[in-house]
């Protein structure tokens, strides 16, 4: 179970209460994530909060807290404020479980009236501000760590290319190349190169095929780095847009005696302007 600052704990508590209020409205009016996901729409976004508080995050691109998914989250949360009855459009909305689903066979549900829609918009507006604040550092760290790891793998690929060139020139022998391959961090590339070496054991190394495999891996890594950076930029831009209207949310938190959570949001806004904050 991860540890959070007092401010972060207060903010998560408020988000959980907002989630309950939103869920009640969406369940009553059958506002689901998308076709095939019969949970109220808010469940998908609150899955991120559950992953954060449970510590279920491996830091990979498939994680619920990857920068790509968090960037999608904040973008959709902003969009919902303009279209409060919008259903989610991403395949990632599919529910991993049904224990928080509502009965989908309970007949037609009425569309929410104007007051209910406005209340839903306000709830989502506040939830989005808190969402942007609580996941800001997580999104930044995920992007930074994964970019660094992918960059290191690109450097490994370049080293392998250099060794294959040396082998071709006769400057090293096959043992040197195999030793280097065994030290590769990229599991898929290491297995592929070793397989090629084993297959060509009698005839000699097929350096052309090895080089092709390394080039393909390098290209995929560059694409992954670009995707990470694009998502990180999208999150940051959406976060700044959210913070432009955050003052109202902070005031409401203060009026409700939630000064600690409001301070967390204020610190998150300051961080986005170059100042520091810690969870």
Distance between CA atoms of 85 and 158, rounded to whole angstroms? 50
Q: pLDDT tens digits, residue range 146-190?
A: 999 999 999 988 988 888 888 888 888 888 888 888 888 888 888
Q: pTM of the full predicted structure?
A: 0.82
Is pLDDT above 50 for 106?
Answer: no
Mean pLDDT of the chain: 83
Phi, psi for residue 33 in degrees, rounded to 5 = -65, -50
| Phi, psi angles (nearest 5°) of residue 121 | -60, -45
Q: Region 196-204: what's the mean pLDDT? A: 68
Residue that the structure tokens 């054991």 belong to: 201
What is the CB neighbour count within 10 angstroms for residue 134? 24
Distance CA 212, CA 219 (A): 11
- Using one digit for the tens of pLDDT, what is the confidence trace for 5-61? 888 888 899 899 999 999 999 999 989 876 677 799 999 999 999 999 998 888 899
d(Cα 222, Cα 214) in Å, to the nearest integer? 12
Annotate 85-129 with DSSP letters as a single string: TPPP-SGGGS-S--TTPPPTTS---PPP-HHHHHHHHHHHHHHHH
Q: State both tokens at 213.
A: 């495999």
pLDDT of residue 54: 94
Residue 277, pLDDT above cutoff 60: no
Within its chain, how far is the Cα of 59 from the centroid?
9
Residue 34 or 218, more confident: 218
How far apart CA 216 and CA 193 sit, in angstroms, is: 12
Burial class (CB in 10 A: 0-12, 13-18, 19+), 250: buried
pLDDT, mean of residues 236-264: 75
Residue 107: band (very low, low, confident or very high) from pLDDT cuts 50, 70, 90? very low
């Amino acid at each position: 179970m991860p540890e959070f600052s007092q401010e972060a704990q207060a903010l998560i508590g408020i988000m959980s209460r907002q989630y309950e209020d939103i869920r009640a409205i969406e369940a009553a009016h059958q506002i689901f994530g998308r076709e095939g996901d019969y949970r109220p729409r808010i469940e998908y976004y609150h899955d991120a909060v559950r992953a954060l508080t449970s510590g279920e995050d491996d830091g990979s691109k498939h994680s619920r807290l990857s920068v790509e998914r968090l960037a999608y989250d904040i973008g959709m949360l902003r969009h919902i404020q303009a279209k409060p009855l919008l259903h989610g459009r991403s395949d990632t909305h599919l529910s991993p479980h049904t224990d928080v689903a509502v009965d989908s066979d309970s007949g037609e549900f009425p569309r929410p009236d104007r007051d209910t829609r406005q209340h839903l918009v306000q709830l989502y507006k506040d939830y989005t501000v808190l969402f942007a604040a609580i996941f800001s550092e997580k999104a930044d760290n995920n992007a930074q760590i994964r970019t660094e790891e992918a960059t290191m793998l690109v450097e490994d690929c370049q080293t392998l290319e250099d060794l294959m060139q040396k082998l071709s020139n006769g400057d090293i022998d096959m043992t040197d190349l195999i030793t280097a391959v065994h030290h590769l961090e990229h599991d898929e590339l290491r297995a592929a190169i070793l397989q090629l070496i084993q297959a060509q054991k009698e005839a000699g190394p097929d350096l052309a095929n090895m080089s092709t495999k390394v080039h393909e891996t390098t290209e995929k890594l560059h694409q992954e780095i670009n995707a990470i950076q694009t998502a990180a930029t999208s999150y940051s831009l959406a976060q700044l847009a959210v913070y432009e209207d955050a003052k109202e949310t902070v005031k409401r938190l203060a009026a409700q005696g939630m000064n600690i959570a409001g301070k967390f949001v204020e610190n998150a806004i300051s961080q986005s302007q170059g100042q520091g904050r810690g969870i």
